[in-house]
Amino acid sequence: MGNLVRLWCLLCCAVAIAGCGSLLPSERAEVLSPFRSYSDAEARYSQAVPGRTTRPELFSLGFDPLIEGNGKMLSFIDVRLMFVQPNVPIDYLPEGLMKCLEAKDRCIGYAFEFTKTDTQRVGNFWADVFNFRKNRELQGWVFRAVFVLVDDVLVHKVSNGEPNIRRHEVKRNPLGPLQGAGEFFSDQLK
């Protein structure tokens, strides 16, 4: 029994000395895509040329909502709602969008969003476990693209995103494990 107690104490000391950083939870989220990185998505996006790229060619670049997923199929009404704003004159729109609005049912759009993020909890294990302070580091990227086609030919494209997400979040609770206890008890009384 004495050896078991010593072993337990030794294990507790080793964990305390190590800082327990590896015991903090981590999270990885990825919207599955054919792209390894933001640069890869951007490079494939740049290969789509309005007026020349066809629907099958667009799909072969990795922008296929049925095979690759993570894409929305847009009707010409959706395209109009996305790009036509009340304060902006309609003739301000790019030529490709004007073609889409004139083509009506022959116009379709595809909207994609690909993300990859990695979240790590960092900092003091005991402060985290007892809810005094939680530190999180988030890294990753987001790429969004919209393609507008008329009669299966690309007429307009636009993209945006965040190529290098780096965030550090700190949440402090001065009361530690008691923080939020009042909310818990009030919920129990309902």
- Using CA atoms in the order 167, 40, 154, 60, what is the torsion angle rounded to 10 degrees? -130
The pLDDT tens digits for 13-36 are 555 545 554 566 666 655 677 899
Domain that holds residue 81: 24-185
Flag whether the pTM goes above 0.85.
no
Does residue 19 sit within a domain? no
Does residue 141 sit within a domain? yes
Number of structural domains found in the chain: 1
Positions of the chain with pLDDT lower than 70, given as ranges: 1-31, 127-129, 176, 180-190
Does residue 86 sit within a domain? yes
Q: Which amino acid, 180?
A: G
